[in-house]
Amino acid sequence: VETARVLGNLTRNDKARRYFCRNGGLTLVVKQLSAGAASQAYDFKACAIGVLVNLLGDAENRAPFMQHKGAELLYTLLAAALQEEDWFLATIICQALWNLLIDANNVADVCQEQVLDDVCDLLVDYLDEERLFEHSTRPDVIWEGFAVVATDLLERIQASYDKQEQEEAEAEAEKQKQKLQQKSNVRSDKNNAGEEDDINEDEDDDVYIEEM
């Protein structure tokens, strides 16, 4: 646990992060979090996820993380934390997901859409204040902190989805426009060809008359 805490502090430094990852640190963290041992110390897990938050702040670590099925791992950790209503752990997992997606023009290029959809479903469910605190006078303070980060993450994913749909719609509209333009050009060419034929026929008539 102490080692994980030290790593959490060290990986706030960019040089330390690069050194750590060059020496297999990212793989080690993923392996430890994937173990999912019931006896795994809570503090160790929290610190390890905190290390991930720091590592995923660097763009060069995101692709290797995804090669280790990192998005699926974060979803699994998030689902477990939310099931226990562990708002603190859920918050730092959402921070890791945010860093993973932060530079993506299209989040579906980074994560499988099914994983993203599952994450969104979880967040929507656990951001439902009325359902969670039906018998409480006010929400948990730690939940409120989670809600801020989770809402930002949810909006980030949904905004990317909306942008993707808009771009696809615009691309389809442009495609249809080009098809209509091509058809119009074909009709125009046919009309022009018909006019030329009429002109040629008129010219032939004139020549014939002149010969008479």
To which residue do tokens 């720091």 refer? Answer: 54
Q: With beta carbons less than 8 A apart as the criterion, state whether 21 and 63 touch.
A: no
Output the pLDDT for position 154. 96
Confidence at residue 8, expressed as pLDDT on a 0 to 100 scale: 85
The whole-number pLDDT of residue 64 equals 95
Distance CA 82, CA 128 (A): 12
Residue in the block written with tokens 């020549």: 207
Q: What is the pLDDT of residue 94?
A: 98
Q: How far apart are CA 109 and CA 25, in angstroms?
A: 25
What is the Cα–Cα distance from 147 to 177, expressed in whole angstroms?
Answer: 44
Q: What angle do CA 64, 65, 67 make, to 5 degrees?
A: 65
Low-confidence stretches of the chain (pLDDT beneath 50): 205-212
Residue 194 has what pLDDT? 63
Q: How far is 24 from 50, CA to CA, in rounded Å?
A: 17
Per-residue model confidence (pLDDT) at position 169: 74
- pLDDT of the residue at 41: 82
Q: Which fold has domain 2-174?
A: Leucine-rich Repeat Variant (1.25.10)
